Amino acid sequence: MEPLDLSGLPERALLLLDSAPIIYFLEEHPRFGPRFQIIFEEHAKGNVQFAVTTITIAEVLAGPLSVGDEALVRRYRNVFETWQMVALDAEIAEGAARVRASFRLKLADAVQVASALAINADALVTHDRDFANVQSLRVIS
């Protein structure tokens, strides 16, 4: 599997991360983790900035919490504290409804798109193919 194509991103690009890339990289998924490694390397170098939604936090923490892995929960919390947080508010909720109606996305995916647009993210990084029809935002997958 090829690494992600980050060409054309501006310097210090703001990337909104969907749940899967975070899980794959931080939990070292053998197949998909290496695909997303480049964005984490670029972040470590200061070349890109990360943002996550409160939806992403809920999705990412559900796995470790379901098996009682408090160490992994703490690891995720420590990482999230260093990234921009995008809370679901009324404006983003309405934007998500519009995105959902236009593209027939699942609610969580529509929230990701609306959140990325609300913070003027340069791209949404995901492993989800459901975003293929979204033209108003660069989707890196």
For the chain, domain boundaries: 13-140
Give the integer Cα–Cα distance in Å for 125 and 42: 13
Rounded CA Rg of the chain = 15
Whole-angstrom CA distances from 21 to 50, 60, 93, 103, 105 are: 12, 10, 23, 22, 19
CATH T-level fold of 13-140: Rossmann fold (3.40.50)
At residue 2, the pLDDT reads 76
pLDDT tens, N- to C-terminus, the chain (141 residues):
677 999 999 999 999 999 999 999 999 999 999 999 999 999 999 999 999 999 999 999 999 999 999 999 999 999 999 999 999 999 999 999 999 999 999 999 999 999 999 999 999 999 987 888 898 899 999
Residue 99 is encoded by which pair of tokens? 């995105």
Task: Note the maximum CA span of the chain.
Answer: 41
Under DSSP, the state recorded for 47 is: S
